[in-house]
């Protein structure tokens, strides 16, 4: 289903009482209608619909939103990355309950290892948002907000099977008693290798994943404390179908990845007598991965932590937050070759302050400043500002912008494609942090017509410039090195969202135009693997607590490829349906990509042999037409 921005949601009330939505990413106490920062919310309904289609990961949940493109980076292992407003995934921060858990070495598999079924909502802020969350949020941030215990016990189960030989089973349980509460999310996701093109390589790898996430909640007289733990283990094997099926007689290409992800989360909120709140947060994450290909392997352990203290306050005209946080990251490579050790240790300390003030009945201003000191690349001053003008009761204009930065890192889409092999270690003296400046302008307009018809429109224009972008270049036939050959890259474009409602019918339309260019001594070139134009549209008929059916259509324009050519444009169509049988269970059935759009229908995905393949750029789906269906139980 289409995604509405925060301002659009506020207008979509119809004849029903609007459910209050708390936006956690902005850390203010204002109602969402009065947020100068543009925030997009994927609520429980959208999450539920996409969970019906992809209960094992969040790729579809994000990819079918306007302005967000989930790009597959591996032809055989399914690794993917988030691109917001056309920028590489390394420029997007992925948070869970406001804390970073999915970066660095773990980033390439993060989207595949996050199940959506324990999420309450997903918050997306596009453009630089460095004040509260640090320098990495150049393109934007995605905050995954998890569900807490309700007033009534919950026992929810979901079973799903796919025509691509996948099975998903998950459960969410919650309890509360007095001032104590607890939730538990657990899931099992598995799939056989799947080769719809019959070309000998897996479009979907063979994998088996287990997830366990318990959380405890303590409510005091003037405080709230939440503690959580997460364990995700996975074995993933992609490549030659003969190899995956057990044939070891002849050499074949494969990608074998074993991962273990363990993380903890702690948040304590203390309400002071002055009415202010003191918030303490901490998360620790340990990620182990061993990646093997024929004749080589790369493995290591990433240990990262995030600690923060901040204070919230407000008066009749202003909300404010001040705080400090510390990020640490340590990576130890297993058995590195001489001269190719990628071990590193870094820490970044930051101070931040932000205020949101009503300048008048129609004008509101949000301004913030962050000062970061990074252990390897010095200090950065990051201002940010957002201004909102209520043109009329049904019209709102927002203008926002800010600065950001990104420290050089080994873990990018380019190095992931090389399995991190044969890459020279960083020379910090020869590299600079990437620094950015960006601006977003958007206009919201709502219309109410007779007979219960309403229309909500949102138009956004954006521009982001990144100086000294980091790139992986060929140093010799067998070695690569990170360098900064380009002066800058810039991303500019527009997004249009429309949502139409009439009784039980809903129509969502989104259009994105993106132009990303690299500028350097050799001139200007178009960045690769970014659709210049995208359309997402969904038509839904829904009788609440009874039946839902929806038809989806997504258009992806041509993309520049590495060899200088352009990939063809294409459409993807899907049909989803769900029937609520009783208060205890519902059944669902989906026909995803029923026209079987896939890149292997247009061209070969690789050149060379099954032993030593050279994979082409991935600009279209590889898995093709997939049917899935299942049952949801609530006991």
- pLDDT tens digits, one per residue of 291-321: 999 999 999 999 999 999 999 998 878 999 9
pLDDT of residue 586: 97
Number of C-beta neighbours around residue 32 at 10 A: 18
pLDDT of residue 417: 87
pLDDT of residue 32: 63
CA distance 586 to 540: 18
CA distance 633 to 1: 22
CA Rg value for the chain: 24
Q: Is the pLDDT of residue 5 over 60?
A: no
CB 581 within 8 A of CB 589: no
pLDDT of residue 17: 41
Lowest mean pLDDT: which of 25-39, 292-306, 496-510? Answer: 25-39
* Closest listed residue to residue 260, CA positions, set 283, 230, 240: 230
* Closest listed residue to residue 573, CA positions, set 599, 594, 546: 594
Two structure tokens written together for 231: 């364990």
Two structure tokens written together for 423: 């890459």
CA distance 476 to 499: 52
Domains along the chain with CATH numbers:
4-634 (2.40.170.20)
Average pLDDT for residues 461-469, to the nearest whole number? 97
pLDDT of residue 29: 63
pLDDT of residue 1: 43
Q: Is the pLDDT of residue 9 over 50?
A: no
Give pLDDT tens digits for 146-195.
999 998 999 999 999 999 999 999 999 999 999 999 999 999 999 999 99
Task: Enter the DSSP assignment of 243.
Answer: H
pLDDT band for position 396 (50/70/90)? Answer: very high
pLDDT of residue 316: 79
CA distance 224 to 220: 6
CA distance 446 to 169: 41
Task: Enter the DSSP assignment of 204.
Answer: B
* Closest listed residue to residue 118, CA positions, set 80, 81, 94, 144: 144
CB 410 within 8 A of CB 418: no
Two structure tokens written together for 444: 């919201």
Give pLDDT tens digits for 330-378.
999 999 988 889 999 999 999 999 999 999 989 999 999 999 999 889 9
- Residues whose CB falls within 8 Å of the CB of residue 539, separated by 6 or more in sequence, listed in order: 505, 506, 507, 508, 550, 551
- What would you measure as the largest C-alpha separation in the chain, in angstroms? 76
pLDDT band for position 50 (50/70/90)? Answer: confident
Three-state secondary structure call for residue 403: strand
Q: Is the pLDDT of residue 196 over 90?
A: yes
* Closest listed residue to residue 146, CA positions, set 56, 24, 27, 10: 24
Two structure tokens written together for 313: 């306050």
Number of C-beta neighbours around residue 327 at 10 A: 21
Give pLDDT tens digits for 403-460.
999 999 999 989 988 899 999 998 888 899 999 999 999 999 999 998 889 999 999 9
Give pLDDT tens digits for 211-263.
999 999 999 999 999 999 999 999 999 999 999 999 888 889 999 999 999 99
Q: Are strands 206-219 and 223-239 parallel, antiparallel or unpaired?
A: antiparallel
Question: With 0-12 CB in 10 A as exposed, 13-18 as middle and 19+ as buried, what is 521?
Answer: exposed
Q: What count of residues does the chain have?
A: 635
CA 9 from centre of chain = 21
DSSP string, 504-573: TEEEEEEEEEEEEEEEETTEEEEPSS--SEEEEEEEEEEETTTEEEEEEEEEE--EE-TTS-EEPPEEEE
pLDDT of residue 120: 93
Task: Enter the DSSP assignment of 85.
Answer: T
Residues of the chain with pLDDT > 90, as a percent, come to 77
Q: Is the pLDDT of residue 8 over 70?
A: no
CA distance 432 to 408: 7
pLDDT of residue 406: 94
pLDDT band for position 16 (50/70/90)? Answer: very low
Expressed in angstroms, the distance from the first to the final Cα of the chain is: 27
pLDDT of residue 303: 97
pLDDT of residue 13: 37
Residue 94 has, within 13 A of its CA and on its CB side, a CA count of 21
Q: Are strands 344-358 and 318-333 parallel, antiparallel or unpaired?
A: antiparallel
Average pLDDT for residues 1-14, to the nearest whole number? 40
pLDDT of residue 266: 98
Q: Is the pLDDT of residue 511 over 70?
A: yes
pLDDT of residue 585: 94
Tally helices (H) and strands (E) across the chain: 7, 37
Average pLDDT, the chain: 92
pLDDT of residue 18: 46
pLDDT band for position 477 (50/70/90)? Answer: confident
Two structure tokens written together for 590: 């989906």
Number of C-beta neighbours around residue 371 at 10 A: 15
CB 1 within 8 A of CB 508: yes
Question: With 0-12 CB in 10 A as exposed, 13-18 as middle and 19+ as buried, what is 525?
Answer: middle
pLDDT of residue 12: 36
Distances (CA, A) of 502 to 14, 395, 506, 541: 9, 21, 6, 10
Two structure tokens written together for 295: 């004749």
Q: Is the pLDDT of residue 3 over 80?
A: no
Task: Enter the DSSP assignment of 594.
Answer: T
Partnered with residue 124 across adjacent β-strands are: 40, 142
Give pLDDT tens digits for 63-119.
888 999 999 988 988 888 899 999 999 999 999 999 998 888 888 888 889 999 999
CA distance 99 to 117: 19
Two structure tokens written together for 518: 């690299």
Dihedral-angle region of residue 504 (phi above 0 means left; psi in -120 to 50 means alpha; beta otherwise):
alpha
pLDDT of residue 2: 44
- Residue 231 sits at φ, ψ, to 5 deg, of -135, 125
Q: Is the pLDDT of residue 329 over 70?
A: yes
Give pLDDT tens digits for 571-593.
999 999 999 999 999 999 999 99
């Amino acid at each position: 289903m289409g995604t509405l921005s925060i301002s659009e949601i506020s207008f979509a009330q119809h004849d029903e009482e609007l459910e209050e939505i708390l936006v956690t990413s902005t850390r203010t106490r204002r109602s969402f209608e009065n947020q100068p920062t543009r925030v997009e919310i994927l609520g429980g309904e959208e999450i539920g619909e996409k969970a019906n289609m992809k209960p094992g990961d969040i790729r579809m949940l994000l990819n079918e939103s306007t302005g967000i493109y989930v790009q597959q980076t591996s032809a055989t292992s399914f690794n993917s990355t988030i691109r917001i407003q056309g920028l590489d995934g390394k420029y997007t921060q992925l948070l869970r309950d406001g804390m970073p858990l999915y970066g660095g070495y773990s980033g390439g598999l993060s989207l595949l290892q996050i199940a959506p079924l324990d999420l309450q909502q997903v918050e997306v802020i596009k453009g630089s948002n460095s004040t509260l969350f640090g320098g990495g949020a150049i393109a934007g941030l995605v905050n995954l907000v998890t569900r807490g215990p309700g007033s009534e016990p919950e026992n929810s189960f979901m079973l799903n099977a796919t025509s691509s030989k996948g099975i998903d089973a998950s459960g969410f349980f919650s309890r509360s008693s007095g001032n104590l509460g607890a939730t538990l999310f657990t899931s099992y996701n598995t799939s056989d290798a799947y080769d719809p093109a019959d070309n000998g390589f897996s479009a979907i790898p063979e994998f088996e994943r287990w997830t366990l996430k318990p959380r405890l909640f303590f409510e005091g007289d003037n405080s709230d404390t939440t503690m959580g733990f997460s364990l995700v283990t996975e074995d993933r094997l992609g490549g030659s179908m003969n190899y995956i099926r057990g044939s070891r007689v002849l050499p074949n290409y494969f990608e074998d990845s074993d991962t273990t992800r363990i993380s903890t989360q702690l948040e304590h909120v203390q309400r002071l007598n002055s009415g202010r709140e003191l918030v303490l947060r901490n998360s620790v994450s340990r990620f182990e991965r061993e990646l093997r290909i024929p004749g080589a392997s790369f493995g290591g352990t990433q240990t990262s932590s995030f600690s923060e203290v901040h204070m919230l306050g407000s008066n009749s005209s202003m909300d404010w937050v001040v705080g400090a946080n510390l990020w640490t990251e340590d990576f130890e490579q297993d058995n590195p070759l001489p001269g190719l050790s990628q071990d590193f240790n870094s820490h970044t300390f930051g101070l931040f302050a932000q205020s949101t003030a009503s300048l008048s009945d129609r004008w509101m201003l949000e301004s913030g400043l962050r000062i970061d000191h990074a252990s390897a690349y010095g200090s950065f001053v990051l201002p940010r500002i957002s201004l909102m003008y209520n043109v009329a009761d049904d019209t709102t204009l927002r203008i926002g912008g800010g600065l950001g930065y990104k420290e050089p890192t080994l873990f990018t889409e380019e190095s992931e494609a090389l399995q991190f092999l044969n890459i020279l270690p960083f020379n910090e003296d020869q590299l600079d942090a990437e620094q950015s400046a960006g601006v977003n302008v958007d206009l919201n307009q709502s219309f109410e017509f007779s007979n219960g018809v309403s229309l909500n429109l949102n138009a956004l224009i954006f521009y982001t410039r990144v100086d000294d972008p980091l790139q992986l270049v060929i140093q010799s036939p067998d070695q690569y090195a990170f360098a900064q050959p380009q002066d800058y890259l810039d991303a500019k474009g527009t997004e249009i969202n429309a949502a139409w409602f009439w009784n039980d019918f809903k129509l969502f339309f989104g259009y994105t135009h993106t132009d990303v260019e690299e500028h350097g001594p050799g001139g200007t070139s178009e960045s690769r693997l970014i659709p210049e134009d995208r359309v997402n549209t969904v038509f839904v008929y829904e009788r609440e607590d009874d039946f839902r059916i929806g038809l989806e259509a997504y258009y992806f324009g041509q993309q520049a490829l590495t060899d200088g050519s352009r990939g063809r444009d294409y459409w993807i169509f899907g049909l989803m349906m769900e029937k609520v049988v009783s208060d205890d269970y519902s059944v669902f059935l989906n026909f995803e990509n029923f026209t079987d759009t896939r890149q292997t229908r247009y061209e070969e995905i690789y050149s060379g042999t099954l032993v030593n393949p050279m994979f082409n750029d991935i600009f279209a789906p590889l898995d093709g037409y997939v049917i899935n269906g299942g049952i949801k139980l609530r006991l």
